[in-house]
Amino acid sequence: MADVADRVWHSRGRTRRSTRTVRLGVSAVIVAAVVLAVLVVPPIVQLDEQAVDLSQKLQPPSLAHPFGTDDVGRDLLLRCVYGLRISLLVGLVAALVATVVGTLVGAAAAAFGGWTDRIVMRLVDTFSSVPHLLLGIFIVAMFRPGVWPVIASVALTHWLSTARIVRSEVLSLRSRPYVDAAVSGGASRLRVTARHLLPGVLPQAGLAAVLMVPHAMWHESALSFLGLGLPTHQASLGNLVQSARGSLLAGDWWPTLFPGLFLIIPTLAIAGLAGVWRERINPRRRSELML
């Protein structure tokens, strides 16, 4: 009986490892293809993604236009690549800024403790009580449509979760023996934070940044879809989906399908890589998944 249970245990473990390996491979291939496309396709093609050709409007997918054309004859594949380029730029920069801000705020709150911790976390709770999209709309509404207002909007509304994660990790690290030894040796609070606490939270902060990239891409697409993100003439996945609504009602499915896939598939791939990373840096979670 024990042998049967042991075989079942190891079989489940191998199945989990095999699934994780497949997920990692597929996600890595998709992310690599996305990065290659946004870096290589525009220089090689050397076509204007805003070039209008009304004689070719709403052409279905073909060899000349693999993704078809939009309602003014622009090549949809090229516009999807440019739109994905903008979405990745917004996602990466906003995630980096939000992670840096959240890491500094969370580490400072936990390291100083006392009134500083309570005041900072009450501010975090206050901002968290407002929906991200609503707060983002308020921020971008104060500026002209463009990439940088959208980046600022996403960054300023997404550092809160990182601050909570980092604060929790720093509070855990403060009880470690080597931190107590550094404090007993006369190290200042700032030195202990910079030399011992911040390096200890970098894996969690990096994971938070990766997980934030797809969230930021969806946030940018939502703002552009509402007409508050990028200018309507600029290729953005949210703008492409928004401009294709009329075509979809007329039965032309490709102007909506392909921009949607360009948004969904890369974000799922990035989230898949982040999930594997999370299992690797959290042994307890990984052991639970092996059961």
Q: Note the pLDDT tens digit of each residue in 80-131.
A: 888 888 888 888 899 999 999 988 888 888 878 788 888 888 888 888 888 8
User: What is the predicted pLDDT for the residue at 287?
Assistant: 39
User: What is the predicted pLDDT for the residue at 5?
Assistant: 46
> Which residues lie closer than 8 Å to 221 by C-beta, 6 or more apart?
87, 229, 236, 237, 238, 241, 263
User: What is the predicted pLDDT for the residue at 3?
Assistant: 54
**How many C-beta neighbours within 10 Å does residue 177 have?**
7
User: What is the predicted pLDDT for the residue at 2?
Assistant: 47
Q: What is the mean pLDDT of the chain?
A: 78
Q: Which residues of the chain have pLDDT under 70?
A: 1-18, 45-49, 178-180, 182-184, 186-189, 281-291
User: What is the predicted pLDDT for the residue at 222?
Assistant: 86
